[in-house]
Structure 1
Amino acid sequence: MATYRPIMRDYKPVPARTQPRAQWMVWFVAGLGLPLILVALMLPDQNQPPPLAPESTSLVSIGPVQQVTKPAKTAALITTTEKLISRKIPPLVAAPQPEQQRTVLTVRRGDSLDRLFRRHNLSAADLAGIMQDDLAKQHLRLVKPGDEIIVLHNDGHISELSREINFDSSLKVSREEEGFSAGIIKHKISVRQVEAKGRITSSLYLAAAEAGISDRTIMNLTDIFAWDIDFVLDIRRGDEFRLIVEQLSRDGVAIVEGNILAAEFTNQGEVFRAIRYEDPSGHSSYFTPDGRSLRKAFLRAPLSFSRVSSNFNPNRRHPVLNTIRAHKGVDYAAAHGTPVKAAGDGKIIFRGKKGGYGNAVILQHGGNITTLYGHLSNFNRQARKGSHVNQGQIIGYVGQTGLASGPHLHYEYRKNGVHKNPRTVNLPKAEPIDPALKADFLRTAAPLINRLDDTPLVLLEANNSGDFDITNSET
């Protein structure tokens, strides 16, 4: 049988296949050798002496002591280490706390606490947490216009809230780890006596402001002398006044004036003085230096700080009817709604519309005396026909009802049915001080009278804080 061999198309011999080299040995040696080399490099030099102290160290041996010199590399390393150790490391400083914002919430008409918080972008959740505290809820549940609530917060999150409860105490609410807690802070209250005095150059209000006297105190002054001085008509340029009054301070800061202890008012050259006296039962009133009560049965004017637009005049021409018609009272021009006070203790015998008087009130007093108040815009709801009113109690409000050309009060004073001029009629006097208390009153009045006598009258300049001009009178 014939044997065939493959045909060689390129007529070249087939090269023999070469066997693959053993490369695994190379990788094994490299993988094992490199770590060993690194370990060897990390080991300390056997010929290098051990680390020495910063200064030259003497080696102790049985034989003679030999001085060993530090190698250059070791000395450099030690020097660098010493510099690092000696370098002052600044103390750790706590991260600054975010600055708190202080916001005063002023209550307006119709406001609630929730509305106040929403208006100032304060956390409603914090408000809910605050109201969980019974004490906080008790003093924050009701707010009225004019109230102020002080809040410390960080971007609306409450940290502290406070509110004045009364003159000597405040509510304080603070954030704690588990919510809010509330407490009452008692303020330190101190009282001292201060003096104020002034001279009227244009108006009583301006003179009081220049003397540093608050509106409240000047109103109290006019109430003290209301039975002797008509502050609507009788005040003149050059009239003078001086006061000894309590000044109340809270936590060392003057806040408000208290009671007027002694007062003097010089009106058109006539001097009026008043001393405050409190009897053993706690009742207080004002008396002249010799113990006569300043309080009389009737006030000279039934409203404060207005102007007389028409005096008592039997031959006056009526401004509306344009005829000669007797004016049997006094007209006090005042702003619409100004309170009208009862001139004396009495009983309301008429309240309603009365012809040209418009809305009117008539009071029956002792001694067969009646007073009439006309052109009122409205009545005090509590002052009804048949009810008893006290001197100074509000019975109505200035208006323009009836035959009136503008808002004013028409006031009449009648005795036994006959009209009298309210500004000049002799008014019945009140009872003097109890004879059993007169000696005690004179002891109380003496030092106050001496201070009024010894203090020269000086026109004071008002200061920005509204404080009084203070003399050496602290108690």
Structure 2
Amino acid sequence: MSQATPNKPSQHLSQLIAEFPRRHLLIAIAACCLLFITLMVMPSQEAEALRTSQSITLPIASKPIIEEPAVAATPQAPWKELVVQKGDNLSLLFQRAQLTGRDVYEITSSSKKAKQLTQIYPGQKVAFQIDADGKLLALKHQHDLLKSTLYQRAEDGFTVTDLEREPEIRQRHVTATISSSLYTAASKAGLQQNLIMEMANVFGGVIDFVYDIREGDSFSILFQEHFIDGKKVGSGPILAAEFINQDQSYKAYRYEYGNGDIGYYNEQGISMRKAFLRAPLDFTRISSSFNPNRLHPVFKTKRPHRGIDYAAPKGTPVYATGDGRVVEAGYNKANGNYVVIKHGESYTTKYLHFTKRAVKRGQKVKQQQIIGWVGSTGYATGPHLHYEFLVNGVHRNPRTVLRKLPKAVSIAAADKDEFLKQIGSLQMQLAAFQNHHKYAANTSATNNAL
């Protein structure tokens, strides 16, 4: 029985393998494995083409754009503004705006603050915002050019918002020479009355504007003015000022402390505010001076006049000349309406013949606080203020005793650096304005001479 003949190709391959060097054989096996793995991982061209076609981002078919008709925004209801006339009240204004008494009640009863709407004055403006159905949406009450109150309808009534416009602040410089009176010179220079009074208050501790003013005296002030929409609405504080009285110069600069307090000091930091004012009222004349041997104008007998009489129109305000407490405030046959103020332990001031008092007994008062108004009550031949000054119970001449009183305080050492920093720019501005004014005056005089 014969054996099967082996397959020749297989036998030939085995022989080749057996004869192939071992190292080359291992390399060939590794190459074959690598080729197999590569073929398993790489997809066919068709598969690759299919995969690539699925991964491409195609533009998304957008929905057809349907142009809807433009919806106009609901127009804001217009405002209707009314000016309060003499004799007007809130009901009349609402009637003119075609609103009802129910609308008046609805807005004024919406909050406690809304009740201030009942206080309207001629010249003020009230604006109404009313929708097409006649419903009140909002109301604006303009108190003045700076302050307004806005009432806006809400779910449960009206909200109330206070509005205040910030004015544009400009600086202005004014200088003038006195020929008749301070008030006349300042008015001709364009200063408002409140600013004139403020200037008198600034220098009231060093100048007696009743007795000390002379023809040829001059002043120069730098101050603020406030504007709204290009219209002047008021004057701000004095920033710096110089007053030349009888050839003596007094300068004052405004200084604001960190806590908001304001003071006026000279360039050395000495306060312009003295312990007592030189006079208890502004821009009057002395009708009777301190005189121990004066003939009394009513009784025509020789009686000492232990104070100074300032003739002034009835109703002229009278100021406390220093801080203190009112120890007497009443009326009697001789003095009429009078006030007595105690200033510490040593000093007392008396003010007689008021038409009306503004303070009560026991009340604390500040320097320059109004305590009454000039009148002619009691033994008086005409409207005037009788003013007395006592030191330890003894009458002294109010005009001369002030020289013996304690000096004004100086700015604290801790504030000195900040003070000098603040007034430095004011000094330069005041000097620049003054030099410009002198140059303009000299130029004008030269042109007139030519």
TM over 0.5: yes
The CA deviation at 1:183 is 7.1
The residue type equivalent to 1:215 in the other structure is: Q
Distance across 2 between alignment mates of 1:191 and 1:232: 33
Moved more, 356-365 or 324-333: 356-365
Q: Which secondary structure state, in structure 1, belongs to the residue aligned with residue 99 of structure 2?
A: helix
Correspondence for 2:302: 324
Alignment RMSD (CA, Å): 3.5
Report Cα offsets for 1:433-463 as digits up to 9, x if no partner: 110110110111122112222323749xxxx
Distance of aligned partners of 1:435 and 1:162 in 2 relative to their CA distance in 1, 3 Å threshold: same
Among 293, 310, 326, the residue aligned to 2:271: 293
Distance across 2 between alignment mates of 1:208 and 1:139: 42
Report Cα offsets for 1:305-347 as digits up to 9, x if no partner: 3222212222322111112222111111222233322111122
Report Cα offsets for 1:277-309 as digits up to 9, x if no partner: 111121111111110011111111112232222
Distance of aligned partners of 1:354 and 1:151 in 2 relative to their CA distance in 1, 3 Å threshold: same
The residue type equivalent to 2:293 in the other structure is: N
Among 422, 438, 443, the residue aligned to 1:444: 422
Q: After the TM superposition, which residues 294-373 of structure 1 pair with which residues of structure 2 at under 5 Å, given as runs?
A: 294-354=272-332, 356-373=334-351
Distance across 1 between alignment mates of 2:210 and 2:250: 17
Residue 456, structure 1, aligned to residue 434, structure 2: yes
TM-score, length basis structure 1: 0.64
The CA deviation at 1:147 is 5.8
Q: Which secondary structure state, in structure 1, belongs to the residue aligned with residue 434 of structure 2?
A: coil
Residue 228, structure 1, aligned to residue 206, structure 2: yes
The residue type equivalent to 1:306 in the other structure is: T
Question: What count of residue pairs does the alignment treat as equivalent?
Answer: 348
Moved more, 286-295 or 211-220: 211-220
Q: After the TM superposition, which residues 128-143 of structure 1 pair with which residues of structure 2 at under 5 Å, given as runs?
A: 128-129=102-103, 132-133=106-107, 134=110, 138=114, 141-143=117-119
The residue type equivalent to 2:367 in the other structure is: Q
The CA deviation at 1:142 is 3.5
Correspondence for 1:60: none
The CA deviation at 1:350 is 2.2
The residue type equivalent to 1:281 in the other structure is: N
Distance of aligned partners of 1:184 and 1:329 in 2 relative to their CA distance in 1, 3 Å threshold: closer
The residue type equivalent to 1:347 in the other structure is: R
Identity %: 40
Distance across 2 between alignment mates of 1:335 and 1:124: 49
The CA deviation at 1:249 is 2.3
Distance across 1 between alignment mates of 2:182 and 2:270: 26
Report Cα offsets for 1:4-30 as digits up to 9, x if no partner: xxxxxxxxxxxxxxxxxxxxxxxxxxx
Q: Which secondary structure state, in structure 1, belongs to the residue aligned with residue 410 of structure 2?
A: coil
Distance across 2 between alignment mates of 1:281 and 1:123: 47
Distance across 2 between alignment mates of 1:253 and 1:322: 57
The residue type equivalent to 2:425 in the other structure is: P
Structure with higher RCO (Cα < 8 A, 6+ apart):
1
Contact 1:246 1:257 in 2 (8 A): yes
The residue type equivalent to 1:383 in the other structure is: K
Report Cα offsets for 1:389-413 as digits up to 9, x if no partner: 2222222232222211011110001
Among 81, 84, 87, the residue aligned to 1:105: 84
Q: After the TM superposition, which residues 32-181 of structure 1 pair with which residues of structure 2 at under 5 Å, given as runs?
A: 104-106=83-85, 112-114=89-91, 117=93, 122-123=96-97, 125=99, 128-129=102-103, 132-133=106-107, 134=110, 138=114, 141-143=117-119, 148-149=124-125, 162-165=140-143, 168-171=146-149
Q: Which secondary structure state, in structure 2, belongs to the residue aligned with residue 216 of structure 1?
A: helix
The residue type equivalent to 2:168 in the other structure is: S
The CA deviation at 1:161 is 6.7
Distance across 1 between alignment mates of 2:353 and 2:331: 9
Counting helix residues as a fraction of each chain, which structure ranks higher?
Answer: 2
The CA deviation at 1:165 is 4.2
Distance of aligned partners of 1:326 and 1:389 in 2 relative to their CA distance in 1, 3 Å threshold: same
Correspondence for 1:5: none
Q: After the TM superposition, which residues 185-200 of structure 1 pair with which residues of structure 2 at under 5 Å, given as runs?
A: 187-200=165-178
Distance across 1 between alignment mates of 2:302 and 2:122: 50
Correspondence for 1:398: 374
Q: Which secondary structure state, in structure 1, belongs to the residue aligned with residue 282 of structure 2?
A: coil
The residue type equivalent to 2:254 in the other structure is: R
The CA deviation at 1:138 is 1.8
The CA deviation at 1:417 is 2.4
Residue 416, structure 1, aligned to residue 395, structure 2: no
Residue 282, structure 1, aligned to residue 256, structure 2: no
The CA deviation at 1:259 is 1.4
Among 383, 391, 403, the residue aligned to 2:360: 383
Correspondence for 2:242: 264
